[in-house]
Chain A
């Protein structure tokens, strides 16, 4: 719930945290967020562990999918929820502990000031993130792919940390329920001619986040999912 004693931008910013079986990390992630950001919603995507209870206990609002529908579907649910509840800015933030709440203010500033519609976090600008070599190669391939398919010139296509204005979220319509949503968001930024900027953010790779992250085979699944989503749109 927005706290009126906080500065207006913080109170009207909804942090959307999609989570599927993230009981191990979610509590710490939400507590770190709630230290500075009053309004956090966990989209529990049909978890079979205590994700929802832990999110609520840590001070987040919780919206629960009854069955698992994928991260893209969870984000779209968070967007819809935020629009319904009057959010002026929305931030997407991963639940596995790889993002830092310290990056949020810098990420949100260009959106709050109205300079851009979307601020995309990038681990390849300024900040040194300890990125595994194979992951780095996959991400660089995705950058080339995105440049070809959407025309966006960005350095990090699959970073879950993004800030969006309300107007931008109103235009987004994510149909890719699973992992292809990251490419879909970029496609829609390009097709709606949204103003965007990349902001350097730090990504922390833990054993947990590596285990939950995508491997090479997943990258091909994402590619197929993305192509099918484009064909059947």
Chain B
């Protein structure tokens, strides 16, 4: 086992353990947690046994294990972008809702203040 394998397996295992701890401590939901844990365990196995990626690649009709990793990385990146975009849209909708609510509450408050001022002025005027 070379230095890269030792480092890669150690890091992947650490991340897998952190994900499991996250699920146990309820900071991660079980389904995404399981997906992340599977990803890190798969990374550790691929680093420990590089020939295994060749076997999987050939089973899928791809010649080289490195190509399989590359394609999976591209696919993962696009899925990541999509998930981020969906989250950003939800945040955007939330921000608009907050801005709208604040704007209407402030406008209503201003109208009430004006009405109160006019009412107080009309009550004062007969005695002036």
**Once the chains bind, are B103 and A64 in contact (CB under 8 Å)?**
yes
| Chain A residues with CB below 8 A from B72, complex form | none
Q: Does A66 contact B (CB under 8 A)?
A: yes
Q: Are B86 and A232 in contact (CB under 8 A)?
A: yes
Q: Do A61 and B96 touch across chains, with their CB atoms under 8 A apart? A: no
**A-chain residues with CB within 8 Å of residue B111 when the two chains form the complex:** 1, 61
Q: Are A69 and B89 in contact (CB under 8 A)?
A: no
Which listed residue (A77, A177, A232) contacts B104, Cβ 8 A? A77
Interface range, B side: 10 to 19
Interface contact B96-A84, CB-CB below 8 Å: no
Give A77 to B107 CA distance when docked, in angstroms.
11
Report the Cα distance A228→B93, complex, angstroms.
13
Chain B CB within 8 A of A212 CB = no
Range of interface residues on A (Cβ < 8 Å): 20 to 34
Total cross-chain contacts (CB, 8 A)? 44
Closest to B111 in A: A61
B95 lies within 8 A of chain A by Cβ? yes
Within 8 Å of chain B (Cβ to Cβ): is A80? yes
Q: Give min CB distance, A34 to chain B, whole Å.
A: 17
Q: How far is the CB of A32 from chain B (nearest CB, A)?
A: 23
Q: How far apart are the CA atoms of A6 and B111 in the complex, in Å? A: 21
Indicate whether A81 sits within 8 Å of B99 (C-beta atoms), given known contacts A61-B111, A177-B92: no
CB of B39 closer than 8 Å to a CB of A: no
Per the bound structure, the CA–CA distance linking A1 and B118 in Å amounts to 13
In the complex, A63 Cα to B103 Cα: how many Å? 6
A81 near B96 (CB under 8 angstroms)? no
Collect the chain A residues with CB atoms within 8 Å of residue B96's CB: 69, 73, 177
Q: Is B108 an interface residue (CB 8 A)?
A: yes
Q: Does B106 contact A (CB under 8 A)?
A: yes
Decide if A35 is an interface residue (CB 8 Å cutoff). Answer: no
The answer to whether A67 has its CB under 8 Å from any CB of chain B is yes
Set of chain A residues within 8 Å of B89, measured between Cβ atoms: 228, 232
Verify B86–A77 contact, CB threshold 8 A.
no
> Which B residues contact A (CB, under 8 angstroms)?
86, 89, 92-93, 95-96, 99-100, 102-104, 106-108, 111
List 3 tightest A-B contacts by C-beta distance, closest first.
Answer: A63-B107, A77-B100, A73-B96
